[in-house]
Amino acid sequence: MRQLGDCLSYDSRTTQALENLSAALGIFMRLGYLGSAAISLDRMSIAYRMSSQLEDALEASVEACSASEWSWINPISRATIHFNYGCCLFRLNRYTEALQIFKMSLSTFEYMGNLLRSAYCLEALGIIHASRGESHEAVEVLKDAIDKYIELGEISVEGRRGIRRCRDNLDRIKRREESEEENIVLDVSIFMCQVYN
């Protein structure tokens, strides 16, 4: 049911996705599988976020984080749940909280050697710094993200996309500073990505 929910969510069929994910959640809760319940809640949060139901996404994400803390779940899964929580916070303009969540996730991903998710976190941190008017920090962190994406190698489609997003944002930050234009918009598509466990 959870995989079907994922497929439906990816296909933008949110109502059907949420029905399947909710059914899977109910089964996992009845069986006492909190780790699987946390992952189901995380997937529900993603489905809500992808359909711009941000308050529902935040609620599901908070519940996912809580369930992940009370269950045996691997560190990458827990950090992924927190990454998705950070995406909700960013979309709700809660930058200070999002910054802390992404730093926490980054620490785990780096410790576990997960280059792609480390790069995602660095990219997210760079955008948050830029959104807060902290251009110097944003530039440094986005350059670190590019380095991580490069480490993924030439064959990584996600790596190439990440490099392009980061370079575009570096250019936009530079243009924003040079022209002092406030209306140069950053590419925030990293916060719309569907990062699954």
Helix axes 54-69, 34-50, angle to 10 degrees: 160
- Whole-number pLDDT of residue 44: 92
Distance CA 106, CA 15 (A): 32
What tokens were used for 65? 């984080």
Express each pLDDT in 126-142 by its tens digit: 999 999 999 999 999 99
pLDDT tens for 31-49 read: 988 889 999 999 999 989 9
Distance (Å, whole) CA 184 – CA 133: 12
Closest Cα partner for 74 from 128, 25, 112, 120? 112
The segments of the chain whose pLDDT lies below 70 read: 1-13, 180-182, 193-197
- Its CATH class, for the domain covering 1-73, is mainly alpha
CATH 1.25.40 domain span(s) along the chain: 1-73
Neighbours of 43 (CB within 10 A): 28
CA distance 28 to 22: 10
Planar angle of CA 13, 186, 63, nearest 5 degrees: 45
pTM: 0.88
Looking at residue 191, the DSSP 8-state letter turns out to be G
